[in-house]
Chain A
Amino acid sequence: MPADAAPEIGEAPEGPPTEGRTVLDARDISRALTRIAHEILERNKGAHDLLLLGIPTRGVPLARRIASKIASVEGLEIPVGSLDVTMYRDDLRMRPARTLLPTEIPGDGLEGKVVVLVDDVLFSGRTIRAALDAMNDVGRPQAVRLAVLVDRGHRELPIRADFVGKNLPTSLVESVRVKLAEYDGVDAVIISGESLEGAT
């Protein structure tokens, strides 16, 4: 059931190395995250009340990197957590049960915080909808913003990112894969048109 299990964002399945085209390399990613960090600070008028929540798996290291960039600019440690949205997905019923990933809410919860959700790729928007629902059960932040490394379009829900590393126009048959040193040993964003059946 490869077609069925292909992730919603249409990442290329692992296994045979897909050629693909590297659209962002390590330095591009670093620059994009630096800009996002500055935009977050500008929008928030400082680092007060900020809290970054990464969506596992790759949203979490991205959130940590943004936090360390904010720390080097403002000299203030920003709490970073993770938010698993598995149980809140609208396609939970359509596939085999999925492995749960860690949810870690730092410090004293979300009350009164400005939460910035961090994810690698924004595609249909369904993950973010699930994240908003998941957050609803954890607490009531003062505001929620969304930061993504790549926005590849094709939204299926009225959801928009506040901070975007790179807008990447794609066709539905293409797949976008974010590789991060923490998991893949290398930083890169790769686009490939290989797995035609993988796209939703």
Chain B
Amino acid sequence: MKRHLLSAADLTRSDAELILETAEELRSLADRPIKKLPALRGRTIVNLFFEDSTRTRISFEAAAKRLSADVINFSAKGSSVSKGESLKDTALTLEAMGADAVVIRHWASGAPHLLANSGWVRSSVVNAGDGTHEHPTQALLDAFTLKRHLGSLDGRRVVIVGDVLHSRVARSNSLLLQTLGAEVTLVAPPTLLPVGVDGWGVERSYDIDSVLPKADAVMMLRVQRERMNLKGGGFFPSAREYSRRYGMDARRMSVLQDHTVVMHPGPMIRGMEISADVADSDRSVIVEQVTNGVAVRMAVLYLLLSGNESELGRTTSAATDATSAEAAAGGDA
């Protein structure tokens, strides 16, 4: 029984498809006069953010509120964390307040895993980005956006370009998109590919121009200068050179297939990894990714929290259990 969402690797294909199908139903909520559902009434969700974030925190907050949950926002700045409180003591405080779920973003890779498995809290833990490790809900919303544009992901070629080394988005997407049947190619300068990338099961290339003509989707990653500066820089000679060799511009966009979409998890740096004319073009689905983020996060929170146990990971047992398959089919009356 999965109570947490820590890594895209935890999701089986049926789990991922359940989330995406649920998100599809929830997306229509945006067109309703009352954008609220009662599913999580009385549940408390804590947004525990140890690292700056705008869209992810707002997206989770909107998702929780649309499901009628109570939301407590906690950011490390201006909290007792800045006075030196440990993750454990913060967690114990949240537990004492009775949180049903903790959405955690942390600068340390593995912090959500620690929170979920330490026994400090009984609540569900949702990873909203940990260090350079994973960002599973971003991968889910990217997969959701791709599905809306491409239909099934089976056999589709997704190219992820840029700072893979520091990107939790790249890792989560590589794992999830392959689970859903897509082929993933990572394109980056050798200095920006992480150790162990061989184990991801993805293709690799150092030459963006050779892979673009066959791509069904191109995902540009932000160059994470703030993380590079901590390590003293030196990952590429100059921003201008990086942009010329790995940036998406109008010339490169012109070689894409007609149906190919350009994505970016945001925040993007125009003129660096993506040029303004690409970001504002018809192929760009960057704004749509943000819209879809709310629906996907609603789906995750709904499936983890609304019942007496999480729906994720149940799918295999349901196949052998005819009655729960029946319940899933609607239980009409």
B25 engages A103 (CB within 8 Å): yes
- CA A94 to CA B327, docked complex, whole Å: 13
- The answer to whether A139 and B33 have CB atoms under 8 Å apart is yes
Q: Which of B302, B329, B331, B333 has its CB near the most chain A CB atoms (within 10 A)?
A: B333
**Contact assessment for B22 and A13 in the assembled complex, using a CB-CB cutoff below 8 Å:** no
The yes or no answer to B307 lying at the interface (CB within 8 A) is: yes
Cβ-based interface call for B36 (8 A) = yes
A57 touches B306 (CB 8 A): no
- Known contacts A6-B323, A133-B38; A97/B304 CB under 8 A: yes
Residue B277 is within 8 A (CB to CB) of chain A in the complex = no
Interface size class of A (residues with CB under 8 A): 35 or more
B309 proximal to A (CB < 8 A) = yes
Q: Are B321 and A2 in contact (CB under 8 A)?
A: yes
Looking at the assembled complex, report how far the CB atom of B270 sits from the nearest CB atom of chain A, in whole angstroms. 37
Given the known interface contacts A96-B308, A97-B311, the answer about A7 and B331 at a Cβ–Cβ threshold of 8 Å is yes
Q: Which residue of A lies closest to B303 (CB)?
A: A97
In the complex, the chain A residue whose C-beta lies closest to that of B330 is A57
Q: Does A174 contact B (CB under 8 A)?
A: no
- B-facing mask of A80-109, CB < 8 A → 1, else 0? 000010011000111111111111100001
A55–B26 touching, CB < 8 Å: no
Q: From A8, A13, A88, A109, give the contact of B38 (CB < 8 A).
A: A88
CB of A15 closer than 8 Å to a CB of B:
yes
Residues of A within 8 A of B33 (CB): 109, 137-139
- A57 to chain B: which residues have CB within 8 Å? 329-330, 332
User: For window 20-40 of chain B, which residues contact chain A by CB distance below 8 Å?
Assistant: 21-22, 25-26, 28, 32-34, 36-39
Please give, as numbers and ranges, the residues of chain A lying within 8 Å of B81 by CB-CB distance: none
CB of A109 to closest CB in B, whole Å: 8
Tell me, yes or no, whether B325 is within 8 Å of chain A by CB: yes
| Chain A residues, Cβ within 8 Å of B309 | 96-97
A57 to B333, CA, bound (A): 9
Q: Are B324 and A97 in contact (CB under 8 A)?
A: no
Tell me, yes or no, whether B310 is within 8 Å of chain A by CB. Answer: yes
A59 touches B332 (CB 8 A): yes
User: CB distance B330 to A101 under 8 Å?
Assistant: yes
Q: Summarize B's interface: helix, strand, loop or mixed.
A: loop
* B230 interfacial contact with A, CB 8 Å: no
Contact at A119–B303, with CB atoms within 8 Å?
Answer: no
Q: For the complex, is B326 an interface residue (Cβ under 8 Å from A)?
A: yes
**Chain A residues within an 8 Å CB radius of B323:** 1-2, 5-6, 13, 15, 198
CA distance A102 to B32 in the complex (A): 14
| Least Cβ–Cβ distance between A137 and chain B, in angstroms | 4
Residues in A48-103 with C-beta less than 8 Å from chain B? 55-59, 84, 87-88, 92-103
- Contact (A101, B25) CB under 8 Å given A138-B34, A139-B33: yes
* Residue A121 CB within 8 A of the other chain: yes
Q: Which of B291-320 contact A (CB under 8 A)?
A: 302-311, 314
User: When each residue 100-131 of chain A gets 1 if its CB lies under 8 Å from chain B and 0 otherwise, what string results?
Assistant: 11111000010000000001111110110000
| A2-B323, A96-B310, A97-B302 known; A87 vs B39 contact (CB < 8 Å) | yes
Give the interface centre of A1, A13, A56, A97 by most chain B CB atoms within 10 Å: A97
| A–B Cβ pairs within 8 angstroms, 20 of them | A2-B321, A5-B324, A6-B326, A7-B333, A9-B333, A11-B331, A13-B323, A15-B322, A15-B323, A56-B330, A93-B308, A97-B304, A98-B306, A101-B25, A102-B25, A103-B25, A122-B333, A124-B333, A127-B333, A137-B33
Known: A5-B327, A11-B331. 11 other contacts (CB 8 A): A1-B324, A8-B331, A15-B323, A57-B330, A58-B330, A94-B308, A97-B310, A100-B22, A101-B25, A138-B34, A139-B33
Residue positions of B touching A, CB distance < 8 A: 18, 21-22, 25-26, 28, 32-34, 36-39, 302-311, 314, 321-333
